[in-house]
């Protein structure tokens, strides 16, 4: 694979990940404000989401064969 293709893939993947993360955080905050909560997620919920995201990345990268 050419270096330029690798660079473009990394840049596009990073941008998409940042946009998805931003939207997820915005939605969590909006739901929290609508419910009148002070914190959108608890520490255990954040840990569950993080581990789920790592599992998804592992499957996408082919590490979960």
| DSSP track, 1-65 | --HHHHHHHHHHHHHHHHHHHHHHHHHHHHHHHHHT-S-SS-HHHHHHHHHHHHHHHHHHHTTT-
Q: What is the pLDDT of residues 13-59, one digit of tens each?
A: 999 989 998 998 888 888 888 888 777 778 888 888 889 888 888 88
- Residue 2 pLDDT more than 90? no
pLDDT at site 7 = 93
Please give the model's pTM, rounded to 2 decimal places: 0.62
CB atoms within 10 A of CB 33: 11
């Amino acid at each position: 694979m050419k270096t330029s293709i690798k660079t473009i893939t990394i840049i596009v993947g990073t941008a998409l990940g940042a946009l998805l993360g931003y939207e997820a955080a915005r939605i969590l905050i909006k739901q929290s404000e609508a419910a009148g909560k002070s914190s959108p997620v608890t520490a255990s919920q954040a840990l569950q989401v993080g581990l789920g995201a790592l599992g998804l990345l592992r499957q996408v990268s082919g590490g979960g064969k």
